[in-house]
Chain A
Protein backbone atom coordinates (compact mmCIF):
# COMPACT_ATOMS: atom_id res chain seq x y z
CA UNK A 1 0.00 0.00 0.00
CA UNK A 2 1.48 3.33 -1.01
CA UNK A 3 -1.51 5.42 0.03
CA UNK A 4 -0.55 8.11 2.62
CA UNK A 5 -1.64 7.63 6.25
CA UNK A 6 -4.94 9.33 7.08
CA UNK A 7 -4.80 12.75 8.70
CA UNK A 8 -6.34 12.92 12.16
CA UNK A 9 -8.61 15.53 13.68
CA UNK A 10 -10.29 15.39 17.09
CA UNK A 11 -12.99 18.06 17.35
CA UNK A 12 -14.17 17.05 20.81
CA UNK A 13 -12.17 19.80 22.59
CA UNK A 14 -13.68 22.41 20.23
CA UNK A 15 -17.20 21.07 20.83
CA UNK A 16 -16.61 20.86 24.58
CA UNK A 17 -15.60 24.52 24.60
CA UNK A 18 -18.86 25.37 22.83
CA UNK A 19 -17.10 26.10 19.52
CA UNK A 20 -18.16 25.28 15.94
CA UNK A 21 -15.65 22.89 14.36
CA UNK A 22 -16.96 23.01 10.78
CA UNK A 23 -14.31 25.46 9.55
CA UNK A 24 -11.50 23.46 11.16
CA UNK A 25 -12.79 20.34 9.44
CA UNK A 26 -12.91 22.07 6.02
CA UNK A 27 -9.37 23.38 6.58
CA UNK A 28 -8.18 19.86 7.46
CA UNK A 29 -9.89 18.51 4.32
CA UNK A 30 -8.28 21.20 2.16
CA UNK A 31 -4.87 20.30 3.58
CA UNK A 32 -5.15 16.59 2.65
CA UNK A 33 -2.65 15.21 0.15
CA UNK A 34 -4.12 13.57 -2.98
CA UNK A 35 -5.64 10.24 -2.00
CA UNK A 36 -5.22 10.93 1.72
CA UNK A 37 -8.11 10.14 4.09
CA UNK A 38 -9.24 12.05 7.20
CA UNK A 39 -10.03 10.40 10.51
CA UNK A 40 -12.36 12.54 12.57
CA UNK A 41 -13.37 12.06 16.21
CA UNK A 42 -16.40 13.94 17.54
CA UNK A 43 -18.57 13.83 20.64
CA UNK A 44 -21.66 12.97 18.54
CA UNK A 45 -22.35 11.27 15.21
CA UNK A 46 -21.70 14.15 12.77
CA UNK A 47 -24.46 13.25 10.30
CA UNK A 48 -24.66 16.69 8.58
CA UNK A 49 -20.99 16.37 7.71
CA UNK A 50 -21.53 13.15 5.77
CA UNK A 51 -23.50 14.92 3.03
CA UNK A 52 -21.25 17.98 3.06
CA UNK A 53 -18.10 15.93 2.48
CA UNK A 54 -19.84 13.54 0.06
CA UNK A 55 -20.30 16.58 -2.20
CA UNK A 56 -16.51 17.00 -2.05
CA UNK A 57 -16.05 13.39 -3.17
CA UNK A 58 -15.51 11.62 0.16
CA UNK A 59 -17.14 8.40 1.30
CA UNK A 60 -17.42 7.79 5.02
CA UNK A 61 -17.41 4.87 7.44
CA UNK A 62 -18.30 5.59 11.04
CA UNK A 63 -18.15 3.64 14.29
CA UNK A 64 -19.10 4.45 17.87
CA UNK A 65 -16.33 4.92 20.47
CA UNK A 66 -16.85 4.89 24.23
CA UNK A 67 -19.61 7.11 25.60
CA UNK A 68 -21.33 9.20 22.94
CA UNK A 69 -18.15 9.66 20.89
CA UNK A 70 -17.91 8.66 17.23
CA UNK A 71 -15.03 8.16 14.88
CA UNK A 72 -15.55 8.74 11.17
CA UNK A 73 -13.13 7.96 8.37
CA UNK A 74 -13.59 10.12 5.26
CA UNK A 75 -11.87 8.52 2.28
CA UNK A 76 -11.56 10.13 -1.19
CA UNK A 77 -14.00 8.09 -3.27
CA UNK A 78 -11.48 7.21 -5.99
CA UNK A 79 -9.15 5.47 -3.53
CA UNK A 80 -11.71 3.19 -1.93
CA UNK A 81 -10.53 -0.30 -2.85
CA UNK A 82 -13.37 -1.72 -4.90
CA UNK A 83 -12.46 -5.34 -4.25
CA UNK A 84 -13.40 -4.97 -0.57
CA UNK A 85 -16.67 -6.70 0.34
CA UNK A 86 -19.46 -4.26 1.06
CA UNK A 87 -20.21 -5.97 4.36
CA UNK A 88 -16.95 -4.83 5.97
CA UNK A 89 -17.22 -1.06 6.23
CA UNK A 90 -14.22 -0.74 8.58
CA UNK A 91 -11.89 -2.61 6.20
CA UNK A 92 -11.26 0.43 4.03
CA UNK A 93 -10.27 2.30 7.15
CA UNK A 94 -7.83 -0.30 8.42
CA UNK A 95 -6.36 -0.47 4.92
CA UNK A 96 -5.37 3.15 5.32
CA UNK A 97 -3.19 2.31 8.33
CA UNK A 98 0.44 1.22 7.93
CA UNK A 99 1.10 -2.51 7.79
CA UNK A 100 1.28 -4.08 11.29
CA UNK A 101 4.74 -3.77 12.84
CA UNK A 102 3.92 -6.44 15.44
CA UNK A 103 1.47 -9.34 15.53
CA UNK A 104 0.14 -11.26 18.54
CA UNK A 105 -1.79 -14.51 18.42
CA UNK A 106 -3.78 -14.47 21.66
CA UNK A 107 -6.02 -17.41 20.82
CA UNK A 108 -6.16 -20.08 23.45
CA UNK A 109 -5.43 -17.64 26.28
CA UNK A 110 -7.94 -17.03 29.04
CA UNK A 111 -8.97 -13.52 30.07
CA UNK A 112 -7.30 -11.23 31.00
CA UNK A 113 -4.12 -12.66 29.43
CA UNK A 114 -4.81 -11.27 25.89
CA UNK A 115 -5.28 -7.79 27.35
CA UNK A 116 -2.04 -8.08 29.34
CA UNK A 117 -0.07 -9.10 26.26
CA UNK A 118 -1.56 -6.38 24.05
CA UNK A 119 -0.92 -3.56 26.52
CA UNK A 120 2.58 -4.78 27.34
CA UNK A 121 3.47 -5.01 23.64
CA UNK A 122 1.97 -1.58 22.91
CA UNK A 123 4.17 -0.07 25.64
CA UNK A 124 7.24 -1.07 23.61
CA UNK A 125 5.95 0.33 20.28
CA UNK A 126 6.43 3.76 18.73
CA UNK A 127 3.50 6.07 17.99
CA UNK A 128 2.16 5.48 14.50
CA UNK A 129 3.00 1.75 14.49
CA UNK A 130 0.22 -0.78 14.17
CA UNK A 131 -0.21 -3.87 16.34
CA UNK A 132 -2.29 -6.75 15.02
CA UNK A 133 -3.83 -9.11 17.58
CA UNK A 134 -5.94 -12.20 17.03
CA UNK A 135 -8.25 -12.95 19.99
CA UNK A 136 -10.86 -15.62 20.65
CA UNK A 137 -13.26 -12.97 21.99
CA UNK A 138 -14.08 -9.34 21.48
CA UNK A 139 -11.91 -7.75 24.22
CA UNK A 140 -14.54 -5.42 25.72
CA UNK A 141 -12.46 -4.55 28.80
CA UNK A 142 -9.45 -3.60 26.64
CA UNK A 143 -11.14 -0.75 24.74
CA UNK A 144 -11.53 1.75 27.60
CA UNK A 145 -7.87 1.19 28.46
CA UNK A 146 -6.83 1.79 24.82
CA UNK A 147 -8.89 4.99 24.74
CA UNK A 148 -7.36 6.17 28.02
CA UNK A 149 -3.87 5.67 26.56
CA UNK A 150 -4.69 7.37 23.29
CA UNK A 151 -4.53 4.36 20.95
CA UNK A 152 -7.04 3.90 18.14
CA UNK A 153 -8.37 0.44 17.29
CA UNK A 154 -10.43 -1.55 14.78
CA UNK A 155 -11.97 -4.90 15.54
CA UNK A 156 -13.38 -7.34 13.03
CA UNK A 157 -14.69 -10.87 13.34
CA UNK A 158 -12.63 -13.26 11.22
CA UNK A 159 -13.09 -16.85 10.18
CA UNK A 160 -9.66 -18.33 10.86
CA UNK A 161 -8.07 -21.09 8.82
CA UNK A 162 -8.95 -23.89 11.22
CA UNK A 163 -12.63 -23.05 10.78
CA UNK A 164 -13.05 -21.31 14.14
CA UNK A 165 -14.16 -17.76 14.80
CA UNK A 166 -11.71 -15.13 16.03
CA UNK A 167 -11.51 -11.36 16.37
CA UNK A 168 -8.80 -9.42 14.59
CA UNK A 169 -7.90 -6.25 16.47
CA UNK A 170 -5.74 -3.64 14.77
CA UNK A 171 -4.35 -1.01 17.12
CA UNK A 172 -2.69 2.19 15.92
CA UNK A 173 -0.29 3.21 18.70
CA UNK A 174 -0.95 6.80 19.71
CA UNK A 175 -3.59 6.97 16.99
CA UNK A 176 -6.15 8.81 19.11
CA UNK A 177 -3.74 10.95 21.14
CA UNK A 178 -2.87 13.61 18.56
CA UNK A 179 -5.21 16.32 19.78
CA UNK A 180 -7.26 14.93 22.63
CA UNK A 181 -4.70 14.70 25.43
Chain B
Protein backbone atom coordinates (compact mmCIF):
# COMPACT_ATOMS: atom_id res chain seq x y z
CA UNK B 1 0.00 0.00 0.00
CA UNK B 2 2.96 2.35 0.59
CA UNK B 3 3.76 1.93 -3.12
CA UNK B 4 0.23 2.80 -4.18
CA UNK B 5 0.06 5.87 -1.91
CA UNK B 6 3.41 7.19 -3.17
CA UNK B 7 2.43 6.48 -6.78
CA UNK B 8 -0.90 8.30 -6.52
CA UNK B 9 0.76 11.29 -4.83
CA UNK B 10 3.23 11.59 -7.76
CA UNK B 11 0.39 11.17 -10.28
CA UNK B 12 -1.61 14.00 -8.74
CA UNK B 13 1.43 16.29 -8.37
CA UNK B 14 2.41 15.74 -12.02
CA UNK B 15 -1.10 16.51 -13.25
CA UNK B 16 -1.26 19.63 -11.07
CA UNK B 17 1.96 20.85 -12.72
CA UNK B 18 0.54 20.04 -16.16
CA UNK B 19 -2.69 21.89 -15.42
CA UNK B 20 -0.67 24.86 -14.21
CA UNK B 21 1.01 25.04 -17.63
CA UNK B 22 4.41 24.14 -16.23
CA UNK B 23 5.46 21.79 -19.04
CA UNK B 24 4.46 20.40 -22.46
CA UNK B 25 2.65 21.54 -24.58
CA UNK B 26 3.45 25.13 -23.51
CA UNK B 27 7.12 24.12 -23.24
CA UNK B 28 8.94 21.88 -25.73
CA UNK B 29 9.08 18.11 -25.15
CA UNK B 30 12.75 18.21 -24.19
CA UNK B 31 12.52 21.29 -21.95
CA UNK B 32 13.75 20.65 -18.39
CA UNK B 33 10.22 21.32 -17.04
CA UNK B 34 8.72 18.66 -19.32
CA UNK B 35 11.49 16.19 -18.50
CA UNK B 36 10.83 16.71 -14.78
CA UNK B 37 7.08 16.05 -15.14
CA UNK B 38 7.65 13.09 -17.48
CA UNK B 39 9.93 11.44 -14.91
CA UNK B 40 7.50 12.22 -12.11
CA UNK B 41 4.93 10.30 -14.15
CA UNK B 42 7.11 7.45 -15.38
CA UNK B 43 9.18 6.80 -12.25
CA UNK B 44 7.02 8.28 -9.49
CA UNK B 45 3.64 7.11 -10.74
CA UNK B 46 3.79 4.21 -13.21
CA UNK B 47 6.97 2.43 -12.11
CA UNK B 48 6.05 2.68 -8.44
CA UNK B 49 2.49 1.54 -9.15
CA UNK B 50 3.69 -1.42 -11.22
CA UNK B 51 6.28 -2.49 -8.66
CA UNK B 52 3.66 -2.28 -5.89
CA UNK B 53 1.32 -4.43 -7.94
CA UNK B 54 4.03 -6.90 -9.06
CA UNK B 55 5.26 -7.58 -5.53
CA UNK B 56 1.71 -8.82 -4.80
CA UNK B 57 1.00 -10.33 -8.17
CA UNK B 58 4.16 -12.28 -9.07
CA UNK B 59 3.86 -14.57 -6.00
CA UNK B 60 0.19 -15.15 -6.89
CA UNK B 61 0.84 -16.22 -10.49
CA UNK B 62 4.01 -18.20 -9.79
CA UNK B 63 3.13 -19.71 -6.39
CA UNK B 64 6.66 -18.71 -5.25
CA UNK B 65 7.34 -16.19 -2.46
CA UNK B 66 9.56 -13.10 -2.92
CA UNK B 67 13.07 -13.64 -1.54
CA UNK B 68 12.58 -10.77 0.94
CA UNK B 69 9.72 -8.85 2.49
CA UNK B 70 11.72 -5.75 3.48
CA UNK B 71 13.78 -5.11 0.37
CA UNK B 72 10.77 -3.85 -1.68
CA UNK B 73 10.45 -0.99 0.81
CA UNK B 74 14.18 -0.22 0.56
CA UNK B 75 13.84 -0.16 -3.24
CA UNK B 76 10.83 2.18 -2.97
CA UNK B 77 12.72 4.63 -0.75
CA UNK B 78 15.75 4.58 -3.04
CA UNK B 79 13.58 5.22 -6.12
CA UNK B 80 11.57 8.05 -4.54
CA UNK B 81 14.64 9.74 -3.08
CA UNK B 82 16.50 9.39 -6.38
CA UNK B 83 13.51 10.72 -8.29
CA UNK B 84 13.49 13.94 -6.28
CA UNK B 85 17.25 14.20 -6.81
CA UNK B 86 16.64 13.94 -10.55
CA UNK B 87 13.87 16.56 -10.42
CA UNK B 88 16.24 18.91 -8.60
CA UNK B 89 18.83 18.17 -11.28
CA UNK B 90 16.39 19.03 -14.10
CA UNK B 91 14.87 22.12 -12.52
CA UNK B 92 17.71 23.61 -10.45
CA UNK B 93 19.49 25.36 -13.36
CA UNK B 94 16.24 27.20 -14.23
CA UNK B 95 16.41 28.90 -10.85
CA UNK B 96 20.13 29.59 -10.88
CA UNK B 97 21.32 26.50 -8.97
CA UNK B 98 24.11 24.50 -10.53
CA UNK B 99 22.40 21.28 -9.48
CA UNK B 100 22.46 19.31 -12.74
CA UNK B 101 26.05 18.26 -12.34
CA UNK B 102 25.56 16.50 -9.02
CA UNK B 103 21.85 15.89 -8.61
CA UNK B 104 21.17 14.25 -11.99
CA UNK B 105 23.78 11.47 -11.76
CA UNK B 106 23.29 11.01 -8.00
CA UNK B 107 19.50 10.84 -8.33
CA UNK B 108 19.80 8.63 -11.39
CA UNK B 109 22.12 6.35 -9.45
CA UNK B 110 19.64 6.00 -6.56
CA UNK B 111 16.73 5.36 -8.95
CA UNK B 112 18.82 2.78 -10.83
CA UNK B 113 19.78 1.04 -7.58
CA UNK B 114 16.13 0.89 -6.51
CA UNK B 115 15.05 -0.44 -9.91
CA UNK B 116 17.87 -3.00 -9.99
CA UNK B 117 16.89 -4.20 -6.51
CA UNK B 118 13.18 -4.44 -7.36
CA UNK B 119 13.84 -6.10 -10.72
CA UNK B 120 16.28 -8.50 -9.05
CA UNK B 121 13.66 -9.59 -6.49
CA UNK B 122 11.05 -10.16 -9.17
CA UNK B 123 13.36 -11.88 -11.65
CA UNK B 124 14.71 -14.26 -8.99
CA UNK B 125 11.11 -15.16 -8.04
CA UNK B 126 10.19 -15.69 -11.70
CA UNK B 127 13.33 -17.76 -12.37
CA UNK B 128 12.48 -20.06 -9.48
CA UNK B 129 8.99 -20.62 -10.89
CA UNK B 130 9.98 -21.79 -14.39
CA UNK B 131 8.42 -22.87 -16.71
CA UNK B 132 6.63 -19.54 -16.85
CA UNK B 133 2.98 -19.10 -17.81
CA UNK B 134 2.06 -16.50 -20.40
CA UNK B 135 1.36 -13.56 -18.00
CA UNK B 136 4.68 -14.20 -16.24
CA UNK B 137 6.54 -14.12 -19.58
CA UNK B 138 5.16 -10.66 -20.34
CA UNK B 139 6.26 -9.55 -16.88
CA UNK B 140 9.76 -11.02 -17.20
CA UNK B 141 10.24 -9.32 -20.59
CA UNK B 142 8.99 -6.06 -19.03
CA UNK B 143 11.71 -6.34 -16.40
CA UNK B 144 14.40 -6.73 -19.07
CA UNK B 145 13.19 -3.55 -20.78
CA UNK B 146 13.14 -1.79 -17.41
CA UNK B 147 16.85 -2.60 -17.08
CA UNK B 148 17.50 -1.20 -20.58
CA UNK B 149 15.46 1.95 -19.82
CA UNK B 150 17.29 2.92 -16.68
CA UNK B 151 20.69 1.91 -18.03
CA UNK B 152 20.16 4.35 -20.92
CA UNK B 153 18.74 7.00 -18.57
CA UNK B 154 21.73 6.72 -16.30
CA UNK B 155 24.12 7.09 -19.27
CA UNK B 156 22.21 10.25 -20.28
CA UNK B 157 22.60 11.74 -16.82
CA UNK B 158 26.34 11.12 -16.96
CA UNK B 159 26.60 12.58 -20.46
CA UNK B 160 24.73 15.73 -19.42
CA UNK B 161 26.57 16.23 -16.15
CA UNK B 162 30.19 15.29 -16.75
CA UNK B 163 32.30 16.98 -19.45
CA UNK B 164 35.08 15.20 -21.31
CA UNK B 165 33.46 11.78 -21.64
CA UNK B 166 34.00 9.63 -24.76
CA UNK B 167 32.01 10.68 -27.82
CA UNK B 168 29.69 7.67 -27.93
CA UNK B 169 28.46 8.60 -24.44
CA UNK B 170 28.08 12.33 -25.03
CA UNK B 171 26.24 11.67 -28.29
CA UNK B 172 23.92 9.14 -26.71
CA UNK B 173 21.16 11.53 -25.47
CA UNK B 174 20.92 13.03 -28.96
CA UNK B 175 20.19 9.87 -30.91
CA UNK B 176 18.94 7.38 -28.28
CA UNK B 177 16.44 9.51 -26.34
CA UNK B 178 13.54 7.96 -28.22
CA UNK B 179 14.92 4.46 -27.55
CA UNK B 180 14.84 5.29 -23.83
CA UNK B 181 11.20 6.41 -24.16
CA UNK B 182 10.29 3.38 -26.27
CA UNK B 183 11.93 0.91 -23.88
CA UNK B 184 10.10 2.53 -20.98
CA UNK B 185 6.63 3.12 -22.43
CA UNK B 186 6.35 0.12 -24.74
CA UNK B 187 8.78 -2.35 -23.16
CA UNK B 188 8.59 -1.91 -19.41
CA UNK B 189 5.13 -0.39 -18.91
CA UNK B 190 3.09 -1.83 -21.76
CA UNK B 191 4.39 -5.41 -21.66
CA UNK B 192 4.04 -5.53 -17.86
CA UNK B 193 0.53 -4.04 -17.94
CA UNK B 194 -0.38 -6.60 -20.62
CA UNK B 195 0.82 -9.49 -18.45
CA UNK B 196 -0.92 -8.27 -15.31
CA UNK B 197 -4.18 -7.52 -17.14
CA UNK B 198 -4.16 -10.97 -18.74
CA UNK B 199 -4.59 -12.70 -15.40
CA UNK B 200 -6.45 -10.03 -13.40
CA UNK B 201 -9.19 -9.70 -16.01
CA UNK B 202 -9.76 -13.43 -16.41
CA UNK B 203 -9.85 -13.71 -12.63
CA UNK B 204 -12.38 -11.00 -11.97
CA UNK B 205 -14.55 -11.52 -15.03
CA UNK B 206 -14.51 -15.31 -14.63
CA UNK B 207 -13.14 -15.91 -18.09
CA UNK B 208 -11.16 -19.09 -18.73
CA UNK B 209 -7.41 -18.58 -18.28
CA UNK B 210 -5.61 -18.51 -21.59
CA UNK B 211 -2.14 -19.64 -20.61
CA UNK B 212 -2.02 -22.06 -23.52
CA UNK B 213 -3.61 -19.85 -26.12
CA UNK B 214 -1.58 -19.89 -29.34
CA UNK B 215 -2.72 -16.40 -30.23
CA UNK B 216 -1.62 -15.24 -26.78
CA UNK B 217 1.85 -16.74 -27.22
CA UNK B 218 2.29 -15.13 -30.62
CA UNK B 219 1.10 -11.79 -29.27
CA UNK B 220 3.89 -12.03 -26.69
CA UNK B 221 6.59 -13.11 -29.15
CA UNK B 222 5.73 -10.45 -31.71
CA UNK B 223 5.21 -7.59 -29.25
CA UNK B 224 8.34 -8.26 -27.15
CA UNK B 225 10.43 -9.19 -30.21
CA UNK B 226 9.25 -6.18 -32.21
CA UNK B 227 10.04 -3.74 -29.41
CA UNK B 228 13.47 -5.35 -28.90
CA UNK B 229 14.24 -5.09 -32.63
CA UNK B 230 13.12 -1.45 -32.73
CA UNK B 231 15.30 -0.59 -29.74
CA UNK B 232 18.29 -2.48 -31.18
CA UNK B 233 17.79 -0.76 -34.54
CA UNK B 234 17.66 2.62 -32.81
CA UNK B 235 20.90 1.97 -30.96
CA UNK B 236 23.07 0.29 -33.59
CA UNK B 237 21.82 0.92 -37.13
CA UNK B 238 22.80 3.85 -39.32
CA UNK B 239 20.16 6.41 -40.34
CA UNK B 240 19.83 4.83 -43.82
CA UNK B 241 19.37 1.35 -42.42
CA UNK B 242 16.86 2.66 -39.89
CA UNK B 243 14.65 4.00 -42.67
CA UNK B 244 13.56 0.48 -43.66
CA UNK B 245 14.36 -1.46 -40.50
CA UNK B 246 12.42 0.58 -37.95
CA UNK B 247 9.03 0.52 -39.71
CA UNK B 248 9.43 -3.24 -40.16
CA UNK B 249 10.24 -3.80 -36.47
CA UNK B 250 7.40 -1.44 -35.54
CA UNK B 251 5.00 -3.47 -37.66
CA UNK B 252 6.02 -6.67 -35.87
CA UNK B 253 5.44 -5.10 -32.45
CA UNK B 254 2.15 -3.59 -33.65
CA UNK B 255 0.97 -6.99 -34.89
CA UNK B 256 1.74 -8.41 -31.44
CA UNK B 257 -0.26 -5.65 -29.75
CA UNK B 258 -3.19 -6.25 -32.12
CA UNK B 259 -3.15 -9.97 -31.35
CA UNK B 260 -3.12 -9.09 -27.66
CA UNK B 261 -6.14 -6.81 -28.11
CA UNK B 262 -7.92 -9.65 -29.89
CA UNK B 263 -7.10 -11.89 -26.92
CA UNK B 264 -8.59 -9.32 -24.55
CA UNK B 265 -11.70 -9.10 -26.68
CA UNK B 266 -11.91 -12.89 -26.44
CA UNK B 267 -11.64 -12.68 -22.65
CA UNK B 268 -14.48 -10.17 -22.42
CA UNK B 269 -16.62 -12.33 -24.68
CA UNK B 270 -15.89 -15.60 -22.89
CA UNK B 271 -16.58 -14.20 -19.45
CA UNK B 272 -19.09 -16.03 -17.28
CA UNK B 273 -19.94 -12.96 -15.24
CA UNK B 274 -22.57 -11.10 -17.26
CA UNK B 275 -22.60 -7.77 -15.39
CA UNK B 276 -19.15 -6.16 -15.64
CA UNK B 277 -17.71 -4.54 -12.55
CA UNK B 278 -16.50 -0.95 -12.88
CA UNK B 279 -12.83 -1.97 -12.91
CA UNK B 280 -13.39 -4.19 -15.96
CA UNK B 281 -15.42 -1.52 -17.74
CA UNK B 282 -12.72 1.09 -17.11
CA UNK B 283 -10.08 -1.40 -18.29
CA UNK B 284 -12.01 -1.84 -21.55
CA UNK B 285 -11.65 1.93 -22.11
CA UNK B 286 -7.90 1.59 -21.53
CA UNK B 287 -7.70 -1.17 -24.16
CA UNK B 288 -9.56 1.11 -26.54
CA UNK B 289 -6.90 3.75 -25.83
CA UNK B 290 -4.18 1.19 -26.65
CA UNK B 291 -5.91 0.46 -29.96
CA UNK B 292 -6.17 4.20 -30.67
CA UNK B 293 -2.49 4.63 -29.79
CA UNK B 294 -1.56 2.01 -32.40
CA UNK B 295 -3.76 3.72 -34.99
CA UNK B 296 -2.28 7.13 -34.16
CA UNK B 297 1.27 5.74 -34.32
CA UNK B 298 0.58 4.15 -37.71
CA UNK B 299 -1.09 7.32 -39.00
CA UNK B 300 1.68 9.65 -37.81
CA UNK B 301 4.40 7.34 -39.15
CA UNK B 302 2.70 6.99 -42.54
CA UNK B 303 2.27 10.76 -42.93
CA UNK B 304 5.78 11.48 -41.56
CA UNK B 305 4.39 13.51 -38.65
CA UNK B 306 5.72 11.23 -35.93
CA UNK B 307 8.51 13.57 -34.82
CA UNK B 308 6.19 16.58 -34.73
CA UNK B 309 3.47 14.81 -32.76
CA UNK B 310 5.44 12.42 -30.56
CA UNK B 311 4.07 14.35 -27.58
CA UNK B 312 0.47 13.67 -28.62
CA UNK B 313 1.19 9.96 -28.91
CA UNK B 314 2.90 10.09 -25.51
CA UNK B 315 -0.19 11.68 -23.93
CA UNK B 316 -2.49 9.00 -25.32
CA UNK B 317 -0.20 6.13 -24.25
CA UNK B 318 0.60 7.62 -20.84
CA UNK B 319 -2.86 8.77 -19.77
CA UNK B 320 -5.29 6.81 -21.93
CA UNK B 321 -3.74 3.36 -21.95
CA UNK B 322 -1.26 3.06 -19.05
CA UNK B 323 -2.74 5.39 -16.43
CA UNK B 324 -6.28 4.42 -17.47
CA UNK B 325 -5.51 0.74 -16.91
CA UNK B 326 -3.64 1.56 -13.69
CA UNK B 327 -6.56 3.53 -12.22
CA UNK B 328 -9.06 0.83 -13.26
CA UNK B 329 -7.06 -1.95 -11.57
CA UNK B 330 -6.35 0.13 -8.45
CA UNK B 331 -10.11 0.36 -8.09
CA UNK B 332 -10.15 -3.44 -7.64
CA UNK B 333 -6.80 -4.11 -5.99
CA UNK B 334 -7.13 -1.60 -3.13
CA UNK B 335 -10.53 -2.86 -1.89
CA UNK B 336 -9.50 -6.50 -2.45
CA UNK B 337 -6.29 -6.25 -0.40
CA UNK B 338 -8.03 -4.13 2.24
CA UNK B 339 -10.80 -6.72 2.53
CA UNK B 340 -8.30 -9.58 2.78
CA UNK B 341 -6.30 -7.77 5.48
CA UNK B 342 -9.31 -6.76 7.48
CA UNK B 343 -11.80 -9.62 7.10
CA UNK B 344 -9.78 -12.65 6.00
CA UNK B 345 -9.27 -13.81 9.59
CA UNK B 346 -12.94 -13.19 10.46
CA UNK B 347 -14.37 -15.46 7.77
CA UNK B 348 -16.44 -18.26 9.26
CA UNK B 349 -16.74 -16.41 12.56
CA UNK B 350 -19.85 -14.40 11.78
CA UNK B 351 -21.08 -12.08 9.06
CA UNK B 352 -18.45 -10.35 6.97
CA UNK B 353 -18.97 -7.64 4.31
CA UNK B 354 -18.28 -8.44 0.65
CA UNK B 355 -15.37 -6.82 -1.21
CA UNK B 356 -17.84 -4.81 -3.25
CA UNK B 357 -19.28 -3.36 -0.01
CA UNK B 358 -16.05 -1.38 0.33
CA UNK B 359 -16.70 0.56 -2.88
CA UNK B 360 -19.55 2.55 -4.34
CA UNK B 361 -19.43 2.04 -8.10
CA UNK B 362 -22.24 4.46 -8.84
CA UNK B 363 -20.34 7.24 -7.13
CA UNK B 364 -17.02 6.40 -8.82
CA UNK B 365 -18.24 5.64 -12.36
CA UNK B 366 -18.82 9.30 -13.44
CA UNK B 367 -15.25 10.16 -12.44
CA UNK B 368 -13.84 7.39 -14.65
CA UNK B 369 -15.99 8.74 -17.51
CA UNK B 370 -14.80 12.30 -16.87
CA UNK B 371 -11.17 11.13 -16.74
CA UNK B 372 -11.54 9.36 -20.08
CA UNK B 373 -13.22 12.35 -21.71
CA UNK B 374 -10.51 14.71 -20.41
CA UNK B 375 -7.76 12.49 -21.86
CA UNK B 376 -9.58 12.30 -25.21
CA UNK B 377 -9.95 16.09 -25.22
CA UNK B 378 -6.27 16.63 -24.34
CA UNK B 379 -5.13 14.32 -27.15
CA UNK B 380 -7.48 15.83 -29.73
CA UNK B 381 -6.55 19.40 -28.75
CA UNK B 382 -2.84 18.57 -28.85
CA UNK B 383 -3.21 17.03 -32.29
CA UNK B 384 -4.81 20.31 -33.40
CA UNK B 385 -2.03 22.33 -31.68
CA UNK B 386 -4.48 24.07 -29.33
CA UNK B 387 -2.18 24.37 -26.32
CA UNK B 388 -4.56 26.30 -24.10
CA UNK B 389 -7.32 23.76 -24.64
CA UNK B 390 -4.87 20.99 -23.75
CA UNK B 391 -4.17 22.78 -20.50
CA UNK B 392 -7.90 23.00 -19.70
CA UNK B 393 -8.22 19.27 -20.42
CA UNK B 394 -5.32 18.63 -18.03
CA UNK B 395 -7.21 20.53 -15.31
CA UNK B 396 -10.33 18.39 -15.85
CA UNK B 397 -8.14 15.28 -15.82
CA UNK B 398 -6.63 16.40 -12.50
CA UNK B 399 -10.10 16.92 -11.03
CA UNK B 400 -11.22 13.43 -12.06
CA UNK B 401 -7.98 11.90 -10.73
CA UNK B 402 -8.46 13.68 -7.39
CA UNK B 403 -12.01 12.35 -7.16
CA UNK B 404 -10.83 8.81 -7.99
CA UNK B 405 -8.06 9.05 -5.39
CA UNK B 406 -10.75 9.98 -2.91
CA UNK B 407 -12.65 6.81 -3.89
CA UNK B 408 -9.49 4.74 -3.30
CA UNK B 409 -9.06 6.39 0.09
CA UNK B 410 -12.67 5.63 0.95
CA UNK B 411 -12.28 1.97 -0.03
CA UNK B 412 -9.19 1.76 2.16
CA UNK B 413 -11.01 3.25 5.16
CA UNK B 414 -14.55 2.01 4.63
CA UNK B 415 -16.20 0.30 7.60
CA UNK B 416 -19.33 -1.26 6.11
CA UNK B 417 -19.71 -3.61 9.08
CA UNK B 418 -20.40 -0.66 11.35
CA UNK B 419 -23.09 0.94 9.24
CA UNK B 420 -25.70 -0.47 6.86
CA UNK B 421 -24.66 2.05 4.20
CA UNK B 422 -21.21 3.42 3.49
CA UNK B 423 -20.39 6.38 5.73
CA UNK B 424 -20.96 9.60 3.83
CA UNK B 425 -18.37 11.82 5.37
CA UNK B 426 -14.79 10.65 5.56
CA UNK B 427 -11.72 12.84 5.74
CA UNK B 428 -10.47 14.33 2.47
CA UNK B 429 -8.40 12.67 -0.22
CA UNK B 430 -4.66 12.26 0.32
Total count of chain B residues near the partner, CB < 8 A: 21
User: Does A22 touch B at the CB level, under 8 Å?
Assistant: no
B interface footprint on A108-122 (CB within 8 Å = 1, 0 otherwise): 111110011001111
Report whether B272 and A145 are in contact in the complex, using a CB–CB cutoff of 8 Å.
no
**What is the minimal beta-carbon distance from A150 to any residue of chain B, in angstroms?**
13
Report whether B349 and A145 are in contact in the complex, using a CB–CB cutoff of 8 Å.
no
User: Does A34 touch B at the CB level, under 8 Å?
Assistant: no
**What is the minimal beta-carbon distance from A130 to any residue of chain B, in angstroms?**
17
**B-facing residues in A99-133 (Cβ within 8 Å):** 108-112, 115-116, 119-123
- Give the complex CA separation of A119 and B203 in angstroms: 20
Report whether A138 and B344 are in contact in the complex, using a CB–CB cutoff of 8 Å.
no
Taking residues whose C-beta sits less than 8 angstroms from the other chain, chain A's interface range is 20 to 34
**What is the minimal beta-carbon distance from A7 to any residue of chain B, in angstroms?**
27
Known: A112-B336, A112-B355. A120 touches B348 (CB 8 A): yes
- Give the complex CA separation of A116 and B203 in angstroms: 16
- Give the complex CA separation of A138 and B199 in angstroms: 13
B345 touches which of A112, A116, A138, A148 (Cβ 8 Å): A148
- Give the complex CA separation of A111 and B60 in angstroms: 13
Report whether B352 and A116 are in contact in the complex, using a CB–CB cutoff of 8 Å.
yes
- Give the complex CA separation of A127 and B389 in angstroms: 67
**What is the minimal beta-carbon distance from B298 to any residue of chain A, in angstroms?**
37
Report whether B344 and A141 are in contact in the complex, using a CB–CB cutoff of 8 Å.
yes
**B-facing residues in A134-176 (Cβ within 8 Å):** 136-138, 140-141, 145, 148, 164-165
Which residues of B lie under 8 Å from residue A122 when comparing CB positions? 348
**What is the minimal beta-carbon distance from B206 to any residue of chain A, in angstroms?**
5
Report whether B339 and A111 are in contact in the complex, using a CB–CB cutoff of 8 Å.
no
**A-facing residues in B52-81 (Cβ within 8 Å):** 59-60, 63
B349 touches which of A109, A112, A121, A123 (Cβ 8 Å): A123
B277 nearest in chain A by CB position: A110
Considering residues A108, A136, A148, which has the most beta carbons from chain B within 10 angstroms of its beta carbon? Answer: A136
Considering residues B60, B203, B205, B344, which has the most beta carbons from chain A within 10 angstroms of its beta carbon? Answer: B344
User: Does B299 touch A at the CB level, under 8 Å?
Assistant: no
Contacts from A to B (Cβ < 8 Å): 108-112, 115-116, 119-123, 136-138, 140-141, 145, 148, 164-165
